[in-house]
Structure 1
Amino acid sequence: MTPQETAHRVIAANNYLTLATADGDGHPWASPVFYTPDGDDFYWVSRPTSTHSRNLAERPEVAIVIYNSQVPLGAAEAVYLTAHAEQVGAQDLSRCAQLYSSRLPEQTVFEPEQLQDPADFRLYRARAVEASVLLNDGGPDLRVPISLRADS
């Protein structure tokens, strides 16, 4: 399996990513969020008042890791991303809400009106700038740069 195939398998097999943000002063914050992937885009729903949402309103650069925490010691696989994150704008909200909801159970589908004022939640997107995958070859952890695009 290629590093890119490993990354796609890890991304598809997991439901949560860890989103690392920082506030305007650089104080870090990490949050697990349920996500839907789409190529090099990752979508999640959060309250705009949550710490990570407020942080990325000030500083859109984020780091992301996706991994299976249930594997035995020495068998870890992870995908690491640096990304630019933002709240999905009105022009893309309908399409992106449908995409995000495609991975959710039917009873928890988000309609666009549930993701804008006066509702409590917003839809966010992180677009990967760089990606790498953690490979375990019996030695020290090894991160291999990859492209998330299927055509690469």
Structure 2
Amino acid sequence: MSVPPSELPEGVVDRVRIAATLLGDIQYMTLATADESGRPWASTVWFCASLRSPSTERLDVELIWLSRPEAQHSANLLERPEVGISVFDSRQPADTGVGLQLAARAEQVPAEELEAALAAFSTASVAAGGNEWSLRQVQEPAPLRVYRAHLDRALLLVDGSRAELPLS
């Protein structure tokens, strides 16, 4: 059940807007995975945030990126789909700034959902001055695949303080 914005804890709507803006503005995320023995691996990947609903009360987003299945982070997802993600603008001055810390479950996008995920990624890529992407570029025998992360937890960091964001 949705809570009217007037009844949300102070600042929730503003924090969700800040997070959505950050996800739209920042193009790289740090993706932390672990292999079957728990050994961590961090990778920086270009991503897009696909908003699943325009809610200002909850962060309802899917993060999408392309990768090679044999890349360490992609291989790790086969054994452990749980990931940590950090999204931030590294040009911010020390002791200031805005960022997101996310816990999520990641996977290769299933075939039946591939077209929609790739369309979102391609649109964001073109808007950022990159390439348009087609299905033939992310299916066998092409080397890249489409991956996505569904958020389990989101923390917004603003000038040293953290606030949990409500998720859909």
> Is the shorter-chain TM-score for this pair beyond 0.5, marking a shared fold?
yes
The equivalent residue for 2:47 is 35
Q: What's the counterpart of residue 127 of structure 1?
A: 150
1:103 aligns with 124
Q: Which residue pairs with 2:21 in the alignment?
A: 9
What SS does the corresponding residue of 2:65 show, helix, strand or coil?
A: strand
Q: Which 10-residue stretch deviates more, 33-42 or 23-32?
A: 33-42
5+ residue gaps, structure 2 = 1-10, 52-60
Correspondence for 1:118: 141
Deviations 1:10-61 (A, max 9, x none): 1111100110000000000011111110132000000001000000111100
Does residue 82 in structure 1 map to residue 103 in structure 2?
Answer: yes
Which one is further off, 5-14 or 35-44? Answer: 5-14
Query: For the residues of structure 2 that align with 1:41 and 1:107, how far apart are their CA atoms?
Result: 20
How many Å separate the matches in 2 of 1:107 and 1:129?
Answer: 29
> 2:45 is aligned with what amino acid?
V
Q: Look up the match of 1:45.
A: 66
Q: Unaligned 5+ residue runs, structure 1?
A: none
TM-score norm. by structure 2 comes to: 0.81
26-35 or 5-14: which moved more?
5-14
* 2:71 counterpart of 1:66: no
Match of 2:32 among 10, 20, 40: 20
What is the Cα deviation at residue 107 of structure 1? 5.9
Distance 1:92 1:13 in 2: 25
User: Pairwise CA RMSD of aligned residues?
Assistant: 1.5
CA distance in 2, matches of 1:104, 1:148: 25
The equivalent residue for 2:161 is 142
DSSP-derived class of the 2:17 partner: helix
* Identity over aligned pairs, percent: 35
2:42 partner letter: A
Equivalents in 1 of 2:167, 2:100: separation in Å?
10
User: Is the CA contact 1:4–1:148 (under 8 Å) kept in the aligned structure 2?
Assistant: no
